[in-house]
């Protein structure tokens, strides 16, 4: 097996599901002779691909991750919201607080 076998296997699977095998603008990697990375985790400013390579994430999910991946304060806030039942599709104190 080559070092790239994990990413290659995921790329093959994704090619059957998404146009160009990706669901974001990373399809541009091929235009410069590369293959789109398959990211499996993130922590702070870093992301790791399926082969264990670490990258600095300059994209940040195109904005939503401006505090980094798995920011402890964000993770805790999400945990509390999920434990309270998640989104209700109705007015709640959390929605009012967010709108304020």
Question: How far is residue 40's CA from residue 81's CA, in Å, rounded to a whole number?
Answer: 24
| Mean pLDDT value of segment 4-32 | 80
| Mean pLDDT value of segment 68-79 | 94
The number of angstroms, rounded, from the C-alpha of 33 to the middle of its chain's C-alpha atoms is: 23
Which pLDDT score, from 0 to 100, does residue 4 have? 54
Residue 69 structure tokens = 């991946």
| Mean pLDDT value of segment 40-47 | 96
Q: Is the confidence at residue 1, as pLDDT, over 50?
A: no
Q: Is the confidence at residue 48, as pLDDT, over 80?
A: yes
Q: What are the structural domain ranges in the chain?
A: 5-99
Q: Which helix (H) or strand (E) holds 42?
A: strand 39-43
**Mean of the per-residue pLDDT values for the chain?**
85
Given its phi and psi angles, is residue 79 left (phi above 0), alpha (psi -120 to 50 degrees) or beta? alpha
Q: For 5-99, which CATH class?
A: alpha beta
What pTM was estimated for this model as a whole? 0.72
Residue 3 pLDDT class (50, 70, 90 cuts):
low
| Mean pLDDT value of segment 62-86 | 91
Q: What is the phi/psi pair of residue 75, to 5°?
A: -60, -45
């Amino acid at each position: 097996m080559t070092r790239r076998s994990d990413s290659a296997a995921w790329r093959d699977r994704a090619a059957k599901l998404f146009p160009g095998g990706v669901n974001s603008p990373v399809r541009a990697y091929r235009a410069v002779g590369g293959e789109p990375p398959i990211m499996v985790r993130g922590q702070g400013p870093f992301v790791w691909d399926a082969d264990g390579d670490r990258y600095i994430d300059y994209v940040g999910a195109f904005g939503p991750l401006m505090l980094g991946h798995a920011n402890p304060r964000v993770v805790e806030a999400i945990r509390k919201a999920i434990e309270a039942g998640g989104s209700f599709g109705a007015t709640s104190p959390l929605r009012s607080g967010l709108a304020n």
